[in-house]
Amino acid sequence: MSDAPPNAEQVRNWNEVSGPTWVRMQAQLDAQLAQAGRLMLAALGPRPGERALDVGCGCGATSLALAEAVGPTGRVVGVDISREMLARAGERAAAAGLPTVTFVEADAQEHAFPPASFDVVASRFGVMFFDAPAKAFRALGAALVPGGRLAFVCWQAVERNPIMSLASRAAAAVIAMPPRPAARAPGPFAFAEPDNVAEVLGDAGFVDVSVTPWEGTMLAGGTTDLDAATEFALRVGPVAGALRQAGSDAEPAVRDAVKRALAARWTADGAHLEASLWIVTARRPETA
């Protein structure tokens, strides 16, 4: 048993490694992930006046979209463990003139949200990083009013997501890639198994759980510029980790391999790579 506090590795990663990169690449990430956010919002159906919690809100794209949806009589709280990403989210809310959005730096798994204080809980790719998922969802369920709604999007298996694996596969030809995390380990693919997602939510007390597949494409790196897409692929995800390990001497060969892989899928408007998601919805029961 480790004595580390809950989610210690995620707190470190999202503050010291991935978080700063997500801030730097925020516009490209939001462009790549925009459709996933729209799918999540459509499944959630936020209404004017509702109170919404955005879990793992990162740089705030979905918090801002939720704020538009719930309007001036609603309110939105974004929760995240990454100080730098929250700072960006706060700047964006201020720039958008959305005073109904606030942000909280906290571990959503451990935080004592005021009981029954939200009508809806939402997340775009922010709920797969908990080391105790059922505990986390019990906390989120308790923050919902009876009958309150949950909706999130998460990734299906990596094999079904060239958008997430094309660069890694290309880089693996020229550099040692980190081993894949174990199934269900905290990380982007922790919720790849739909039966497990349903079980976690059921164990956490949610009802009417639905896990619906979505298959489509996403614009690699959110850009129509091949060099920008290549740079994105080198900085976000497992290739970035492998490059940190290998050192800068390895970078030119990796860059070349990744650029060639992207170029092979390039069209007049960028590389549209296959993506597979689960759209998950559930509800807190009306009565405990």
Ligand X SMILES: C[S@@+](CC[C@H](N)C(=O)[O-])C[C@H]1O[C@@H](n2cnc3c(N)ncnc32)[C@H](O)[C@@H]1O
Residue 70: count other Cβ atoms within 10 Å of its Cβ.
21
* Residues between 1 and 60 with contacts to ligand X, criterion CB under 6 A: 7, 10, 14, 19, 29, 33, 56-59
CB closer to ligand X out of 5 and 45: 5
Q: What is residue 34's DSSP assignment?
A: H
Q: Within its chain, how far is the Cα of 139 from the centroid?
A: 19
Q: How far is the CB of 41 from ligand X (least distance, A)?
A: 12
**Is residue 129 a contact residue for ligand X (CB under 6 A)?**
yes
Residue located via tokens 């999130």: 152
**Is residue 85 a contact residue for ligand X (CB under 6 A)?**
yes
CB closer to ligand X out of 88 and 149: 88
- Taking every pair of Cα atoms in the chain, the longest distance, rounded to a whole number of angstroms, is 60
Which sign, positive or negative, has the C-alpha torsion 26, 197, 41, 283? negative
Query: Measuring CA to CA, how many Å separate 84 from each of 15, 21, 50, 91, 248?
Result: 7, 10, 27, 11, 25
**Which of 108, 143, 166, 258 is the binder for ligand X (CB under 6 A)?**
108
**Which of 70, 76, 80, 254 is the binder for ligand X (CB under 6 A)?**
80
Q: What is residue 181's DSSP assignment?
A: P
Q: How far is the CB of 30 from ligand X (least distance, A)?
A: 7
**Is residue 240 a contact residue for ligand X (CB under 6 A)?**
no
Q: Is 206 helix (H, G, I), strand (E, B) or coil?
A: coil
**Is residue 79 a contact residue for ligand X (CB under 6 A)?**
yes
Which residues are at the interface with ligand X (CB under 6 A)?
7, 10, 14, 19, 29, 33, 56-59, 61-62, 79-82, 85, 107-109, 124-126, 129-130
